[in-house]
Every structure is written in C-alpha cells, then in structure tokens.
Structure 1
Amino acid sequence: MPVTRAAPKLMVEDVARSVAFYREALGFDFVCGVTEDTRQVVDQWPAPGRLALAEVRCGQARLIFQSRGSLTAELPRLGEAKIGGSVVIVLTCDDLDALYERISERTPFLKAPHVTFYGARECSLQDVNGYVLTFSDGAEQDH
C-alpha cells in the first residue's frame, strides 16, 4: 500500500491567524475550513466565523491547522502538548533564492540559505505557532 500524500496536521491556538500568516507571508492558498460553532465547511477566505480546522496549500504541499480545543477533543492525549516544538517541516521549492528574497521582506529567517552537511541548500524560519519550516531547493539526492 503506497502512501499517496502527506499533509501534516498542526495543533494551533488560532486557526485564522495561522492561515493569515501562511497566506500573507508565504503565499499559500486557503483550501477550506470548518467553522468552530456550526461545523460548516467553508471554502472562501476570510471565513465567516472562528475556524476549528483549515487546510492551506502551495503547489503540492498541504498543511492542516486544527485548534487545540478541537484536536484535543479528538485526541485527548495531546491536551498538554506544546504547540510548535521539535517538528521541522521541509518544503521543497524550485528557486530557493527567490523564495528567500520574497519571504525575508516580511518574515525573519532562523537561518539564511546555506549548504547542509548532507548536501542540500536550505533556509529555515519559524511560523507564528513556533513550528520550524525549512525550505529546500530539492537538489539533495534521495536516500
């Protein structure tokens, strides 16, 4: 059984704030969301009401944001989990330098473009929730 897609679900305090950051600072598109009180699926941004969940995309990359309250109702063991933490999400892009120039005007990077010990060119930033995003030029070889 091959896996056909991965979309990390990230616990956040404010879904709309997360969507706004990814749209405005990183150029992601809003795919859809689910309102907190009515559980209505919405596909227009800004959403009418507070969101419990939302999906964003940029190219083939997709991320899902779910509010702490909504996610811990489904998975109570996450109730005490810290938002952000040690997860690094790697996003491959076609032109790392252009992406860095465009995004660095709005958002500070943790690390500028550099060559890693494993031969990839990467740069990293922290999103509004504390998650680390690493952008890679995709030139590293598959291992």
Structure 2
Amino acid sequence: MESLSPNIFVNDIAETIDFYKSIGFQVAMTVPETGTEFVWAMMVNGDVTFMFQTFESLGDELPNINRHNGGSLLLYIKLKKIREFFGLIHEKVTVLKPLETTFYGATEFSILDNNNYVLTFAEDE
C-alpha cells in the first residue's frame, strides 16, 4: 500500500471547496473541470488528499453509501506547526476541542467541517 485518499460524500461540493480552502487546502481537480456545478473534487494540502463527491453523482451504482450526519467519521491529520495553524483557522471554524496535549504526547485540536465531519489535527511535539 502506498497511500490513502478518502472519497467523502457531501451534499454541496462548492460549499465544501470553500470550507477546505479556508483551512489551507487547494483544489487539485474537479468534475467537470470548469463551472460551479461540481459532482467531484480533489483537494490537497501537503501530503493530505481528500476527494469529495456528491451522493447524487452515484446514481444507483453504490446504493449502500448513505449518511445522515458526518459525526460517524473522524479524519486524523498530522501536521507541523499546529499552534500556528490553529491560530490561523480557529475563528473561521467550529472548534470542538481546543488545543490540548494528550496522554500519548501529541498536541491536538478538533473542528467540525461544513458537512459535520470531525477533523482532528495533531503534532508530536
């Protein structure tokens, strides 16, 4: 295995792109390539890649994919300069858990994205 790039299902790709741009991600690719009615987007920040896709774009392909609220998924993202990053985004997002040092020595904080998914950022300080 070489990498993991989650394909996360959302209702509004444009809104999701705006949210992830606000925390430092960049759009790498979209379908369609231009316009505003996207059905899929890939966003990156360093070595972290997320793909976002609308439920509607699946049609009847994968009927088992559904979700009522993103709370069942937590994405754990390691990064450097966590305190600086927290300072840049904490007023733009819903902070679920502020900066804290865990019993295993990591500094972490958790936020809620615009689709109710939990993102936990961590640094081994």
Taking structure 2 as the reference length, the TM-score comes to 0.92
AA matched with 1:34: V
Any stretches of 5+ residues in structure 2 without a counterpart?
A: none
Quote the residue 2:5 is aligned against: 7
- Percent identity reads 32
1:5 and 1:85 mapped to 2: Cα distance? Answer: 24
Could you list the runs of 4 or more consecutive aligned residues of structure 1 that deviate by over 6 angstroms after TM superposition? none
Taking structure 1 as the reference length, the TM-score comes to 0.81
- C-alpha contact 2:94 2:113 (8 A) present in aligned 1: no
* Corresponding residue pairs, total: 125
2:69 and 2:39 mapped to 1: Cα distance? Answer: 15
Quote the residue 1:126 is aligned against: 112
Any stretches of 5+ residues in structure 1 without a counterpart?
A: 36-41
Quote the residue 2:95 is aligned against: 109
Structure (1/2) with the larger strand percentage: 2
Quote the residue 1:27 is aligned against: 24
Which structure would you say has the larger Rg? 1
Deviation at 1:106, TM superposition (A): 1.4
Q: How does 1:1-143 map to 2 (within 5 A)?
A: 3-23=1-21, 25-35=22-32, 42=33, 47-71=34-58, 73-79=60-66, 81-137=67-123, 139=124
